[in-house]
Amino acid sequence: MKTLHISGRRWFEKTNGNTYHSSIIYVDGEFYGKIEFTYGYGDHYIQSATQLLDKAGLLPGLEHLIHGGNESLWRYCERSGIKLITEVSDVARKKDL
């Protein structure tokens, strides 16, 4: 893998005050997969993508931490010589995720 591109969308549910996201993942310019409607705010769209890629075995050597988390994706990519591109947009409607 030389390039990893993660495109996220976030939607804030005003009624309950929750934020949800979706992510589209491209590996070396090719569509790899999509994460549908998932709870998480801020940069959680990147964490969701990291978990998907890790489960698929595409992040060999990703450090897993004692408390159950893992090394940040930007750090892994920096260490592995992978160009990481992330972008996110906030959408007004749930159906836009």
Strand 30-39: give its sheet, edge to edge.
Answer: 30-39, 18-27, 3-13, 83-91
Round to whole Å and give the CA distance between 2 and 73.
14
Please give the average per-residue pLDDT across 7-16, as a whole number.
Answer: 95
Distance of CA 53 to the CA centre of its chain: 9
Give whole-number Cα distances, 72 to 40, 80, 91, in Å. 16, 12, 25
Tokens matching residue 73: 């994706």
The range of the structural domain enclosing residue 40 comes to 3-96
- pLDDT tens by residue, 37-64: 999 999 999 999 999 999 999 999 999 9
Asked if the model's pLDDT at residue 9 lies above 90, the reply is: yes
pLDDT attached to residue 69? 87
How many domains are contained in the chain? 1
Under 8 Å between Cβ of 49 and 24: no
